[in-house]
Amino acid sequence: MTTVLAAAELVDRREILPGQWLQSYHAPGLASGSRAGQYVQLVPGATAGTILRSPFAINTADAATGIVTLHFRVSRQPTAWLAGLRPGDRIDLAGPLGRPFEVDPRGRHLLLVAGGLGIAGLRMLADEAVRAGRQVTLLFGARSAREVYPSSLLPDEVEYIVATEDGSLGHHGRVVDLAPDYEAWADQAFACGPKAMLAAVAVLAAGRRGRLGVATLGRKRGAGKIDPVGSPAARRKAFLQVAIEQDFGCAAGTCLGCVVMGASGTPLRACREGPVFAATEIDWERG
Amino acid sequence: MTTVLAAAELVDRREILPGQWLQSYHAPGLASGSRAGQYVQLVPGATAGTILRSPFAINTADAATGIVTLHFRVSRQPTAWLAGLRPGDRIDLAGPLGRPFEVDPRGRHLLLVAGGLGIAGLRMLADEAVRAGRQVTLLFGARSAREVYPSSLLPDEVEYIVATEDGSLGHHGRVVDLAPDYEAWADQAFACGPKAMLAAVAVLAAGRRGRLGVATLGRKRGAGKIDPVGSPAARRKAFLQVAIEQDFGCAAGTCLGCVVMGASGTPLRACREGPVFAATEIDWERG
Amino acid sequence: MQAAELLPAPAQVPPESVDLSVDIGRGLTLPNPILAASGPFGYGVEYAELVDLHRLGGICCRGTTLKPRLGNPGPRFVETPAGLLHAIGLQNPGVDAVIARYAETWASWTAPVVVNVAARSVRDFVEIARRLDGVPGVAAIELNLSCPNVDAGGSLFAADSSAAAEVTAAVRRATDLPLVVKLSPNVTEIRPIARAVAAAGADAVSAINAVAGVAIAQVAGGPSLLGDATGGLSGPAVKPIALRIVSEIVASVKIPVIAIGGVTSLADVLDFLAVGAVAVGVGSAVFADPGLPVRLVESLAETCGTQGMTSYRGLIRTAGARALPRPRGASA
Amino acid sequence: MQAAELLPAPAQVPPESVDLSVDIGRGLTLPNPILAASGPFGYGVEYAELVDLHRLGGICCRGTTLKPRLGNPGPRFVETPAGLLHAIGLQNPGVDAVIARYAETWASWTAPVVVNVAARSVRDFVEIARRLDGVPGVAAIELNLSCPNVDAGGSLFAADSSAAAEVTAAVRRATDLPLVVKLSPNVTEIRPIARAVAAAGADAVSAINAVAGVAIAQVAGGPSLLGDATGGLSGPAVKPIALRIVSEIVASVKIPVIAIGGVTSLADVLDFLAVGAVAVGVGSAVFADPGLPVRLVESLAETCGTQGMTSYRGLIRTAGARALPRPRGASA
Ligand SMILES: Cc1cc2nc3c(=O)[nH]c(=O)nc-3n(C[C@H](O)[C@H](O)[C@H](O)COP(=O)(O)OP(=O)(O)OC[C@H]3O[C@@H](n4cnc5c(N)ncnc54)[C@H](O)[C@@H]3O)c2cc1C
Ligand SMILES: Cc1cc2nc3c(=O)[nH]c(=O)nc-3n(C[C@H](O)[C@H](O)[C@H](O)COP(=O)(O)OP(=O)(O)OC[C@H]3O[C@@H](n4cnc5c(N)ncnc54)[C@H](O)[C@@H]3O)c2cc1C
Ligand SMILES: Cc1cc2nc3c(=O)[nH]c(=O)nc-3n(C[C@H](O)[C@H](O)[C@H](O)COP(=O)(O)O)c2cc1C
Ligand SMILES: Cc1cc2nc3c(=O)[nH]c(=O)nc-3n(C[C@H](O)[C@H](O)[C@H](O)COP(=O)(O)O)c2cc1C
Ligand code: FES
Ligand code: FES
C-alpha cells in the first residue's frame, strides 16, 4: 500500500440529502489507486482547527476522469469546514488507506447492507461489482424517508431495498430485518454502518450455515486452512465482510486509538488491519 | 452611543502591503453612524474558532455608499479567517464602539502620528479633517519600505512624511523623531500605534509648552477648569489624543481586561472610556 | 439507529410549561439552571441593555474584596487555542462600593444575584459576608477559594480541605445567606475538599474556577509571562477538565453542584447535567456572545419539551461509565 | 517598533552550523531538542517510511509495561476543542516483546530512543528497568509516573513527592541508563515533586503528561463517559497549563527539563525554551502532521541562523515576569 498525500481540487458538490453532501474532487493519483473499502484522511488546513485527520470512505473513484467522491453528513468542524468549500478550493487528502473489500472471483450474487452513511463505505463496491457483471442487492436502512439515499445515485443494475425505522419509506423496521430474505441467495455479503448494526448482521451471518444447511462458497474452498487475520484471503473467503468506521487517531497504526477486539483476543487496529474485516475476525461482544 | 450588530457584506478586498489587507464592507448603518477613532468588533462565526471578538478600527466610513473599510494585518485566526472571505460573504460586526477623536472646531493644523497599523486608527480622521478644510500632516513610521502605507490611499490634501527604522524609505529612524519639527505648527495632534510609540509621543507633547513657550489652543480656552476623564471636552481641549489598541475581552466594560492606568490612579477601560484618550489622562509610566 | 429512536415520539410539552427551577437550598430557588459565571458578566448592569437579564437563572457578579483593588498591569488577556488566559487581578471597588452602586438595581431584578467574594484571610471573608448579609438584592454568596491564604504561607484556600472547611464554616456562622463554595481545579484530589466544604455548611458547590496557566506575551523587550506570572485558563479548552472535576464532586457530596467551564452550547449544558450538575454557569463565552445564556435557557426548555419532559431534572446524572466489559490483560 | 529591531542585523549563521545538541546527562546527548513524545509516535517504526527519523532529537516510545496489556475498550478518543481526550489504557505487548521486536531496529537509528515505562508498583518499575538495562537500542528510560500505585491505595506515583522519589531512587539503583522522570500536571503543587525526583537521581524531568479530563461519548443507550471514566487531555488546549508547569519545574530543579504539551508550531517550541526547557516533545500534533517534528528541527535551526546564533541555547530561559511596576491597591 503506497500512501500518498494528494492535493484534491473540489470540482462539484451537491446536498443530496438534508445536511448530507456529495463532493467530487479531482485527485487523479487517488482515483486510480483506490479500491472499494479504502478510505482517505482529510488533512486539516490551518483554519480547520482540529487535532485529528478525519477519515472518509472513498465513496467512488474513477480512474478515467481522475474524480474521487466523498459523501458525508455535516456534523462538527471538519465536515462543516468541508461543506463550506467551493469549487476550485484545494484540500489535502492522505490515502488510499486501509484494506479493501475482497470479492471472491467466483461470487455471482453480492448482498450489500448499509446503515445510513455506511452507504459511503459500500458505494464503490457496488460500482466494482456491477462492472464485473455480478448481481448486487443493496439493503439500505435509515431512520426515515428524509435520510434515504437517492436511488438515482446508484447504478441501474443494483437492486435497491429500503427500510425505515418510522416506516415512512419501504419496510417498516430495521435494515437487518431484511437480510434473512437474501442470505440463501447471496454468495457473499458486505456491510457498513453503525457498530450495533454490524454486530446484528454478524450474528445473522454466523447462524447462517446452520439455518440454511447449504454449502457456501467459503466452505467449498479451503475449510480447515486458517488464513492469517487481516489477510486478503481471510476476507475473500468470508461470507460477511464489514467496514468498521469509528474514531481514528493516527491512522498509521501507532496510537491504538482505533482498536476493535479480535476474535482471537488480540485487539485489531481498524485503521490498519481494517477498516474492512471478515466478520469472523471480530469479537462482536467485546467490540 | 447605540451599538448595533451589523450584518456586513464583503464587497471588495485588496492586499495593499504584504500580508496587509484592505477590505470594504457594505454596512450602511455602521457607515453612517461612525466617527473617527471608533471601532467595530468582529463577531466570530461558527468556524472562526476564537473566544473573543476582535476589535478593528473603522478605517473609513462613507455614509453615502454605505461602505466601511477595515485595514488589518493577517496574524492569527481572526485575521486569517477574515482574509479568506470572498466578495459576497457576510460577517457580523458589532459597533460603532468606543469614544471618537474630538477635533477642536478652531483647529487649523492637525498632526497625525501613525506607527504601522496604527494608520487604520487615524485614517478616517484624515478624511474628516480634509473634508472640514483643515490642514493635515501625517507622520508615518514603519520598520522598512515594505511596510509603508501607500500614499495613493490617502487624500491628496494630506502631507505625508515617512520614517523607516532601516532607512529604506524616508527618514532613517523612528516616526517619533519627526514629531518635534511639527509641534509648533500643529494645533492638535493625534496618534495611534504601538504603546511604546504612544508613550514617546505623549512625553514629547507633555514637554511641548515649556519648549515652545507659545500659547496653544488648549491654553486659550478654559485653563483651570478640569474636564471629567473620558469626556468629549477633555479630549477636545487636549493637544494630544491617542487611540489605544490592545487586547480586549468583552468590549462592554465588564471584564476589565483592557484597562490602562489613568493619570489619576484609577484604571481606565480602553474599550469604554477609550480607545481615544487625551494623552494627559493616561499614566504613561504604569500604562 | 439507537434503540430509543424506535420508540414512538412522546407527547410534546410546551417549553414554557417545562419546570426549570433549581433548589439551591436555604430558600434560594433559581428560576432556571443557567447562570452567568463570575467575572465576564461584570455586575450584570453592563449588559442590561443587551441582554434580557430577567430570563437568567442567576448572575454571579465579579470577585468582590473587602478593600478596593486595582488589579494587575496589562496584558490581562491572551487568547489561547480554544481558551482564554486572564490575569485581571481581582480589580474591583471593594464590597462597600459594590453594595452602594449595584445592590439596589439587583433588588429590582428577578434573576438572583450571587455575590462572588474573594479574600486572603478567613477574617476578611467573614467581614465581607457580614457586610453582604441582609442587603436587599444580594441573593447568595459565592466564596471564591482560589485565593492565597496569607495565614498559611500563601497556599490557596481551595488547595487544602481544612483551610477550605475553615473559611466555609466561619462564613456560615457569619451569615444566613445561601452559601455557594467555588472550588479550584488546580488540586490533586478534589473529592476530600468538596466533602470538607459540604460538611462545613456549604449549601452548594460550584466548579471549576479557571485552570492555572501561563502564556508568553510578546511585549517590547522580549518574551514575558502574562500578568501575574500565572493566569487563569477558561473557555472550551478546559471543558473536559471541568467535566471530570464536576463528576468527581457529584460522586462525593449530596449538595447541589453548579458546573462551570467552557460552556458554549446546549450540548455542553446537557453534558454537565448528564454528569450530575443541577445548574450550569457560562463564563468566557459571553465575550463572543452576550446573549448566549438566555438562548441556552430557551433551548433547554425546548429540548425538554420536545422530549416530552415536564422538568429538566430528568436530564441530570444520566451518564455512567460504559457497561462494556473491562479489558483483560495483566495489570502492569 | 521594538528596541531590538533597531540594532543592525547580526551576521547570519548557516542552519547546519547551528549547534542544536542537548546534554541530558549521564552520557546522553540528543542531536537536537525536538523529541517525539511518548504515545502518538508508537515505536517509531510505524513512521519510518513517512518521516526522516534520523533528523529527530529523540523518540519516546509508547508506554511499556512488564506484562502485555490489552488496553481499554473503545471509544478511546474524543476530540475536544483544540484538544484530544484519550483513554488508550496502556495497550502494549510488554517489555520483553518490545525489546524483541524493536530494539535491534532502534539500535540502527541515529535518533536515541527513550523507552517510556509504566507500572503499578515500585517492584515492577524496577524489573522493567532491569530488563531494559544494557539493551542496545535503548538510549534512556522515561518513567511515566502517572500510574496508580497499588501499594498506596491507587493514588498516582506522580501525585506524591515521596512515592515519586521512591520509585525514582529504586530505578536509579537498578540501571545505569539515563533516567527521565515524567511528571503529571494533575497535582496541587508540582515543585516539591520535581525537587524530590531530582534529589532521588533523575537525570532529567519531562512534563506534562496528559491532563485528567472527561468527555461524554454519545454511544447507543445514552450518554456515557469516555473509556476508563477519566481520560487524558492533550493538544493545544493544554499548552498554557504545560507552560505553567514547566516554568514551575524549571524554577525548582537544576536538571534539564523536557517540555511537552500542545506543541504544534515553532512558536510553541520557542515559548517552552523561553520558560527554561532545554528540549521539547511533540505528542498529539503528529496525528495531523507526522512530519512536524522534523520540520520543527529545521525551522529552529533556521531561526537561530537568521538571528546570528551559533547555538539554540541562547533561546533558553529568556522569559521573565514583566518588569512593570506591580499594581498598588489594598490587598484583599
Ligand atoms: C474508515 C472510516 C470511513 C468513514 N467514512 C465516512 C464517510 O464516508 N462519510 C462520513 O460522513 N463519515 C465517515 N466517517 C466518519 C467521519 O470520519 C466523521 O467522524 C464523521 O463524518 C463526523 O463528522 P465530523 O468529523 O464533522 O464531526 P464529529 O465526528 O461529530 O466531530 C468531529 C470531532 O469532534 C469530536 N467530538 C465529538 N463529540 C464531541 C463533543 N461533545 N465535544 C467536543 N468534541 C466532540 C469527535 O471526536 C470528532 O473527532 C468515516 C470514519 C471512518 C473511520
Ligand atoms: C480599538 C482597537 C482597534 C484595532 N484596530 C485594528 C485594525 O484596524 N487593524 C488591525 O490589524 N488590528 C487592529 N487591532 C488589533 C486587532 O484587534 C488584532 O488584535 C490584530 O489584528 C491581530 O490579529 P489577530 O487577532 O488575527 O491575531 P493575534 O492578535 O496575533 O491573535 C489572535 C488571538 O490570539 C492570541 N494569541 C496571541 N499570542 C498567542 C499565543 N502565543 N498563543 C496563542 N494565542 C495567542 C491573541 O491574544 C489574540 O486574541 C485593533 C485593536 C483595538 C483594541
Ligand atoms: C475575565 C474573567 C474573570 C473572572 N473573574 C472571576 C472572579 O472574579 N471570581 C471567580 O470566582 N471566578 C472568576 N472567573 C472564573 C469564571 O467564573 C469561571 O469559573 C471560569 O472562567 C471557567 O468558566 P468559562 O470557561 O465558562 O469561562 C473569571 C473568568 C474570566 C474569564
Ligand atoms: C494517544 C496518546 C497516547 C499517549 N501515551 C502515553 C504513554 O504511553 N506514556 C506517556 O508517558 N505519555 C503518553 N501520552 C502523553 C504524551 O506523551 C504527552 O505527554 C501529552 O499528550 C501532552 O503532549 P501533546 O499535547 O503534545 O500531546 C500519550 C498521549 C496521547 C495523545
Ligand atoms: S488510528 Fe492510530 S492505530 Fe489506528
Ligand atoms: S474589554 Fe472588557 S472591560 Fe474593556
Interface ipTM: 0.89
How far is D115 from D135, CA to CA, in rounded Å? Answer: 11
How far is B208 from B197, CA to CA, in rounded Å? Answer: 17
pLDDT at position D152: 80
Would you call A267 and D83 a contact, using CB atoms and an 8 Å cutoff? no
Cell output for D159:
501525585
Backbone angles phi, psi at B222, to 5 degrees: 75, 30
pLDDT higher than threshold 60 for residue D71? yes
> Do residues B118 and B191 touch, judged by C-beta distance below 8 A?
yes
Distance from CA of D299 to the nearest CA of B (A): 19
> Do residues D124 and D66 touch, judged by C-beta distance below 8 A?
yes
Ligand 2 near B248 CB (within 6 A): yes
Residues of C in contact with A115 (CB under 8 A): 1
> Do residues D141 and D180 touch, judged by C-beta distance below 8 A?
yes
Q: Which ligand is nearest to the CA of D272?
A: 2
For every one of its 287 residues, what pLDDT tens digit does chain A have, with 9 covering 90 and above? 345 678 899 999 999 999 999 999 999 999 998 999 999 998 876 545 678 888 999 999 999 999 999 999 998 778 888 898 889 999 999 989 999 999 999 989 999 999 999 999 999 999 999 999 999 999 999 999 999 999 999 999 999 999 999 999 999 999 999 988 888 889 999 999 998 899 999 998 888 877 766 545 544 444 456 788 788 988 988 999 999 988 788 888 888 989 999 998 889 999 999 999 999 999 988 76
How far is C119 from C295, CA to CA, in rounded Å? Answer: 33
**Cα A249 to ligand 5 centroid, rounded to whole Å:** 5
Three-state secondary-structure class, residue D131: helix
How far is D90 from B111, CA to CA, in rounded Å? Answer: 67
pLDDT bin (cut points 50, 70, 90) of residue C1 is: very low
Ligand 2 near C289 CB (within 6 A): no
How far is B80 from B72, CA to CA, in rounded Å? Answer: 10
Find, among D186, D85, D99, D140, the residue nearest to D279 by Cα. Answer: D140
Would you call B286 and D2 a contact, using CB atoms and an 8 Å cutoff? no
Q: Which residues line ligand 6 (CB under 6 A)?
A: B 248-251, 253-258, 269, 271
Q: What is the DSSP string of D243-267?
A: HHHHHHHHTT-SS-EEEESS--SHH
Would you say the C-alpha torsion C20, C25, C30, C36 has a positive or negative sign? negative
Mutate to test the interface with C, among D88, D208, D238, D326 (most CBs of C within 10 A): D238
What mean pLDDT comes out for the span D284-288? 93
How far is B208 from B203, CA to CA, in rounded Å? Answer: 9
How far is C45 from C63, CA to CA, in rounded Å? Answer: 15
Chain A contact present for C5, CB below 8 A = yes
Cell output for C315:
436530564
Find, among B275, B13, B19, the residue nearest to B124 by Cα. Answer: B275
Mutate to test the interface with D, among C187, C238, C328 (most CBs of D within 10 A): C238
Distance from CA of B286 to the nearest CA of D (A): 7
Walk across the sheet containing B67-73 and list its strands: B54-57, B39-43, B90-97, B4-17, B20-26, B67-73, B60-62
C147 noted as active-site residue:
yes
**Catalytic positions of D, please?**
147
Which of D80, D182, D234 to mutate to test ligand 4, by most ligand atoms within 8 A of the CB atom? D234
Which of B245, B246, B248, B266 to mutate to test ligand 6, by most ligand atoms within 8 A of the CB atom? B248
pLDDT at position C226: 59
> Do residues A280 and A206 touch, judged by C-beta distance below 8 A?
yes
Tell the residue number behind the cell numbers 472550551, with chain if given: C236
pLDDT at position A211: 73
Distance from CA of D276 to the nearest CA of B (A): 25
How far is B190 from B194, CA to CA, in rounded Å? Answer: 13
Among A195, A255, A259, beta carbon nearest to D287: A255
Distance from CA of B285 to the nearest CA of D (A): 9
Q: What is the DSSP string of D190-243?
A: SHHHHHHHHHTT-SEEEE--PEEE--EEEETTEEEE-TTSSEEEESGGGHHHHH
Would you call D5 and B194 a contact, using CB atoms and an 8 Å cutoff? no
Would you call A196 and C1 a contact, using CB atoms and an 8 Å cutoff? yes
Chain C contact present for B1, CB below 8 A = no
Backbone angles phi, psi at B213, to 5 degrees: 60, 15
Chain C contact present for B50, CB below 8 A = yes
Contacts 24+ apart (CB under 8 A), D288-291: D288/A43, D288/A44, D288/A50, D288/A51, D288/A52, D288/A53, D289/A43, D290/A250, D290/A252, D290/D47, D290/D50, D290/D51, D291/D50, D291/D51
Residues of C in contact with B247 (CB under 8 A): 74-79
How far is C323 from C64, CA to CA, in rounded Å? Answer: 45
Distance from CA of C282 to the nearest CA of D (A): 16
pLDDT at position D251: 92
Would you call A47 and B46 a contact, using CB atoms and an 8 Å cutoff? no
Query: C60, C61, C147, C304: which one is catalytic?
Result: C147
Query: What's the N-to-C CA distance of chain A in angstroms?
Result: 26
pLDDT bin (cut points 50, 70, 90) of residue C328 is: very low
Give nearest CA residue, ligand 4 atom 8: D63
Interface of C with D in 220-279 (CB under 8 A): 220-225, 227-231, 233, 235-241, 243-244, 247, 262, 270-271, 274-275
Tell the residue number behind the cell numbers 473529592, with chain if given: C191
How far is C329 from A282, CA to CA, in rounded Å? Answer: 18
Cell output for A247:
474514531
Find, among B70, B95, B128, the residue nearest to B1 by Cα. Answer: B95
How far is B33 from B39, CA to CA, in rounded Å? Answer: 11
Among D72, D216, D240, beta carbon nearest to C85: D240
How far is C59 from C140, CA to CA, in rounded Å? Answer: 10
Query: How many C-beta atoms lie closer than 10 Å to residue D330's C-beta?
Result: 11
Residues 6+ apart with CB under 8 A from B75: none
How far is D286 from D293, CA to CA, in rounded Å? Answer: 8
Q: Which ligand is nearest to the CA of C89?
A: 3
Would you say the C-alpha torsion B168, B171, B177, B183 has a positive or negative sign? negative
HEC string of chain A? CCCEEEEEEEEEEEEEECCEEEEEEECHHHHHHCCCCCEEEEECCCCCCCCCCEEEECCEEECCCCEEEEEEECCCHHHHHHHCCCCCCEEEEEEEECECCCCCCCCCEEEEEEEHHHHHHHHHHHHHHHHCCCEEEEEEEECCHHHCCCHHHCCCCCEEEEEECCCCCCEECCHHHHCHHHHCCCCEEEEECCHHHHHHHHHHHHHHHHHHCCCCHHHHCCCCCCCCCCCHHHHHCCCEEEECCCCCCCCCCCCCCCEEEECCCCEEECCCCCEEEEHHHECCCCC
User: What atom in ligand 3 is closest to the CA of residue B255?
Assistant: 1
Cell output for B149:
502605507
What mean pLDDT comes out for the span B97-125? 95
Would you call C82 and B51 a contact, using CB atoms and an 8 Å cutoff? yes
Among C71, C74, C83, beta carbon nearest to B246: C74
Residues 6+ apart with CB under 8 A from A224: none
pLDDT bin (cut points 50, 70, 90) of residue D2 is: very low
Would you call B143 and D1 a contact, using CB atoms and an 8 Å cutoff? yes
Q: Which ligand is nearest to the CA of B246?
A: 2
Q: Convert D157-176 to b/e letters by CB count within 10 Å (16 or more is b).
A: bbbbbebbbbbbbbbbebbe
How far is A186 from A138, CA to CA, in rounded Å? Answer: 11
Ligand 3 near C34 CB (within 6 A): no
A133 φ/ψ sector (left φ>0, alpha ψ -120 to 50, else beta) = left
Chain C contact present for B53, CB below 8 A = yes
Three-state secondary-structure class, residue D5: helix
Count of B–D CB contacts within 8 Å?
Answer: 20
pLDDT higher than threshold 50 for residue C227? no
pLDDT at position C331: 27
Q: What is the DSSP string of C274-330?
A: HTT-SEEEE-THHHH-TTHHHHHHHHHHHHHHHTT-SBGGGGTT--EE--SPPP-B-
The CA-atom distances, in angstroms, between A160 and each of A21, A148, D107 are 21, 11, 57
Mutate to test the interface with B, among C65, C77, C85, C268 (most CBs of B within 10 A): C77
**Cα C266 to ligand 2 centroid, rounded to whole Å:** 29
Based on the number of CB atoms within 10 Å of its own CB, is B256 exposed (0-12), middle (13-18) or buried (19 or more)?
A: buried
Find, among D1, C231, D194, the residue nearest to B193 by Cα. Answer: D1
Interface of D with A in 294-313 (CB under 8 A): none
Nearest CA in chain C to A267: C327
Would you call B115 and D6 a contact, using CB atoms and an 8 Å cutoff? no
pLDDT bin (cut points 50, 70, 90) of residue B231 is: confident
**Cα A9 to ligand 5 centroid, rounded to whole Å:** 27
pLDDT at position C324: 31
- Within 13 Å and on the Cβ side, how many CA atoms surround B125? 34
How far is B19 from D11, CA to CA, in rounded Å? Answer: 26
**Chain segment A128-148, per-residue pLDDT in tens:** 999 999 999 999 999 999 999
Chain B contact present for D1, CB below 8 A = yes
pTM of structure: 0.90
pLDDT bin (cut points 50, 70, 90) of residue D220 is: low
Would you call C240 and D233 a contact, using CB atoms and an 8 Å cutoff? yes
Mutate to test the interface with A, among D79, D287, D289 (most CBs of A within 10 A): D287
Find, among C56, C72, C114, C124, the residue nearest to C94 by Cα. Answer: C124
pLDDT higher than threshold 80 for residue C180? yes
> Do residues C279 and C300 touch, judged by C-beta distance below 8 A?
no
How far is D9 from D5, CA to CA, in rounded Å? Answer: 8
Residues of A in contact with B84 (CB under 8 A): 47
Give nearest CA residue, ligand 5 atom 3: A253
**Chain segment B156-185, per-residue pLDDT in tens:** 999 999 999 999 999 999 999 998 888 888
Residues of A in contact with D231 (CB under 8 A): none
